[in-house]
Amino acid sequence: MVRVTRNYRFSASHRLHLANRSDEENQRLFGKCNNPHGHGHNYVLGVTVEGPIDASTGVAVDQGKLDEFVYREIIALFDHTYINMDVEPLREVPATAENIAFVIERRLQAAWPWTQPRLAHIRVEETKRNVIELDVINFHV
């Protein structure tokens, strides 16, 4: 078994804000990320798959098919959006990097077309200092 990671990029904006909290509390919790006009990031999404190496091709995953799948299921949904309004599951919860990672993981799992390789790991880099990782194989909601 080997693990293969492919990285993808998308740009999106969001606002971290809790409607049930005061403006002061939101400012304390989220600082500049609570800007009423939102703010943007150039996200890096790492998708790691795990599976055996195919003896005839020498690879564990058809990278072109994986790229098509991730672009269709994730990049097309998130790229150049205002996440709080444009991404359905994130209209009702704060658009934190953690929640973004969960939405991505759930979408990939729900549409995953292969028995091998398996989805193993999701990594969402919002900034160099804010990175969220989900070990999908061992992760249960």
- 114-127 pLDDT, tens digit per residue, is 999 999 999 999 99
What is the number of alpha carbons within 13 Å of residue 107 lying toward its C-beta? 22
Residue numbers annotated as active site: 33, 80, 126
pTM: 0.93
Structural domain containing residue 78: 2-138
Report the C-alpha gap between 126 and 103 in whole angstroms: 14
Total count of domains within the chain: 1
Residue 101: name the closest of 69, 129, 68, 139 by CA. 139
Name 27's Cβ contacts closer than 8 Å, sequence gap at least 6.
Answer: 34
CATH number at residue 125: 3.30.479.10
Give the tens place of pLDDT for each residue, 71-96.
999 999 999 999 999 999 999 999 99
- The first and second tokens of residue 7, run together, are 């990285």
